[in-house]
Amino acid sequence: MAKRIIDIKVKNSSPRPQSEQELEANEARPSLEDEFLKTITHNSGASAKTKLSKRTPKEKPLAETMISNSEPEVMIPETVQQPFESAPFSVLPKAKKPRRFFKPALIISAVSGLIFAVWAFGSTISRVDIGIETKKETQSQSFRVTFKKPGELGSGGSIELPVYQFEKSFSYTQDYPATGQGQGSSFASGEIVIYNENSASSQILVAGTRFESPDKKIFRLVSRTVVPGYTTEAGKIVSGKISAQLKADQAGPDYNLGPVRFAIPAFSGSAKFNNIYGVSENPFSGGASGLTTAVSADDIKLAKEKITEYAYEKAKSEALSQAPESLKLLDKAVRFDLGKITTSAVGEVAEKLKATISGSLAIFVFDENELKRTIEAKMTETQGFKVDLSSASYQILYENPEVDFEKSTISLTANVKRDLSAVVDTLEFKQKIAGKNIEELKKELLKLEGVQKIRVSVWPFWVRSSPKNIDAIKIQVD
């Protein structure tokens, strides 16, 4: 510990050295300060001054002469150095307690302990991140494939797989706009919703049943309709309802009505008159007279083209819905048998013409997953590294398909591209490198097969080995 030292130096009035006898006499004689303090204790301050003034110079002791003729010099550190006032008597200043500083050994020990604690903590939370980019390989190969009925498969040189057939018979009706003009009259028509709030029993309405609008215009039901009875939910009546088509009883534009409520005159005078009724949600249209819209030959030609396209796509979609998703359909493997198309007549007064088509469609499909498995077994094996064929990606381009609908066969060339990646068993590798130092980790990484590039990150930076806990080892394979 550093100590603070206070030095007091006394200067003599005469350079004459004292003899040993004088020094001994002075040491034996009580100090002047002690006598002075005693005097202050027993006498007043004035008496003390009187006694001191009566002394003659000859009677002054040597020690008193030395103190009165000199001023003390005090040597203290700069931080606490202060001047003392000149006085006949000087009192030594009280020394301050010296400061205590840590010894260098303690500081070094503390720093070392902190460093060790940080190192030990870092070792417990250390982590190793490894990024592995594996080798890739693309294989290309062509195969001739024939798809036949399951009972006709042979053992020829080419690949033979089963073909599956799905058929759909259809009849579709569509409306198309009429763009021609003609003289005549036409009847308005539209859709209504018929409500039954009369009974829980259904109500049958025959074709031609009259419906009357608020302005007394009569419309007739196009076809027989059964209106369901009402139901009850939480004690409330929920109307039975059904949609139906009405046609004006007379031609002309006056019957192109907006949304209205229709009554059934046949129920007049009974509860059914108010409780069974019809409501049109959209305007009626088509009523005309004189020069009006009519069906033209061009309208019929266009309608036939459009309904044929519609029938082909819809029937194909419905046929495919019967087949599993893994089945592959080629564009040429569709047989479309067109039956009959009927349309409105040329010159018929109408804003729309109706077209109806009927026929059948057959599709021939094969299982693409089954083809991939067969190709996988026949393709050249990889060289140089381990791969997982189940995770390989395939691209197959089908060329020159030949479809025989009579024999139900498809022959084609399959051009195959297969993308492969090397496989790394990450769990096994983690177990190998757990607890290994960095140099050993590098050696293990270099032993891996099928690796293109490796990235290793160790945290914290001072760690020199991989964690023993394999959960702290992260491996990302690309």
Per-residue pLDDT of 196-217, as tens digits, reads 999 999 999 999 999 999 999 9
The Cα 184–Cα 399 span in angstroms is: 58
Contact 349, 182 (CB under 8 A): yes
Q: How many angstroms separate the Cα of 201 from the Cα of each of 141, 197, 226, 267, 279?
A: 70, 10, 10, 16, 20
* 3-state DSSP assignment of residue 165: strand
CB neighbourhood size of 129 (10 A): 14
Q: How many angstroms from the chain centroid is the CA of residue 51?
A: 105
Of the two residues 301 and 391, the one the predictor is more confident about is 301
Q: What is the mean pLDDT of residues 412-439?
A: 83
310 pLDDT more than 80 = yes
Q: How far is CA 295 from CA 12, 176, 342, 430, in A?
A: 148, 10, 14, 79
Q: Model confidence at 14, in pLDDT bands (50, 70, 90)?
A: very low
Q: Is the pLDDT of residue 3 over 60?
A: no
Burial of residue 36, with CB atoms counted within 10 A of its CB: 0-12 exposed, 13-18 middle, 19 or more buried: middle
- Spatial distance between the Cα atoms of 473 and 202, rounded to a whole number of angstroms: 73
The 10s digit of each residue's pLDDT in 207-243 is 999 999 999 999 999 999 999 999 999 989 999 999 9
Backbone angles phi, psi at 322, to 5 degrees: -85, -15
SS3 462: coil
The DSSP secondary-structure symbol of 247 reads: E
Higher-confidence residue: 157 or 273? 273
Strand partners, 437: 465
Residue range 317-374, pLDDT digits in tens? 999 888 888 888 888 899 999 999 999 999 888 888 999 999 999 999 999 889 888 8
Between 173 and 464, name the one with better pLDDT.
Answer: 173
Tokens matching residue 352: 């729309």
Q: Is residue 51 pLDDT above 50, yes or no?
A: no
Predicted confidence at residue 98, as pLDDT, reads: 57
Is the pLDDT at 254 greater than 60? The verdict is: yes
Mean pLDDT for the stretch of residues 66-79:
41
Average pLDDT for 157-184: 89
Tokens of 84: 């003392």
- The lowest-confidence range among 29-38, 281-290, 330-339 is 29-38
* Mean pLDDT computed over 135-160: 80
pLDDT band at 301 (very low <50, low <70, confident <90, very high): very high
Q: Edge-to-edge strands of the sheet including 327-343?
A: 164-177, 352-367, 327-343
Tally Cβ neighbours within 10 Å of residue 411. Answer: 16
- Does the structure show a pLDDT above 90 at 274? yes
Mean pLDDT, the chain, whole residue set: 77
Cβ neighbours for 133, distance < 8 A, ≥ 6 positions apart: 451, 452, 453, 454, 478
Nearest-5° angle of CA 73, CA 74, CA 80? 150
d(CA 448, CA 132): 10
Q: Which of 396, 393, 190, 403 is nearest to 282 (CA)?
A: 190
**Residue 450 and residue 448: Cα distance in Å, rounded?**
7
Residue pair 71/86 in contact by the 8 Å Cβ criterion: yes
Cα distance between the two ends of the chain:
64
Output the DSSP codes for 197-234. Answer: -S-SS-EEE-TT-EEE-TT--EEEESS-EEEPPPEEET
Q: What's residue 343's pLDDT?
A: 94
User: pLDDT at position 386, please?
Assistant: 74
pLDDT of 181 strictly over 90? no
State the pTM of this model: 0.50
Most confident of 345-354, 384-393, 461-470: 345-354
Residue 472 has pLDDT above 50, yes or no: yes
Predicted local confidence at residue 298, as pLDDT: 94
Q: Please tell me the predicted confidence (pLDDT) of residue 47.
A: 41
Within 8 A by CB and 6+ apart from 306, the residues are 174, 176, 355
Give the rounded percent of residues in the chain with a pLDDT score beyond 90: 38
Q: Judge whether residue 106 has pLDDT over 70.
A: no
Smallest CA-to-CA distance from 254 within 213, 282, 293, 225 is with 213
C-alpha–C-alpha distance, residues 78 and 83, integer Å: 12
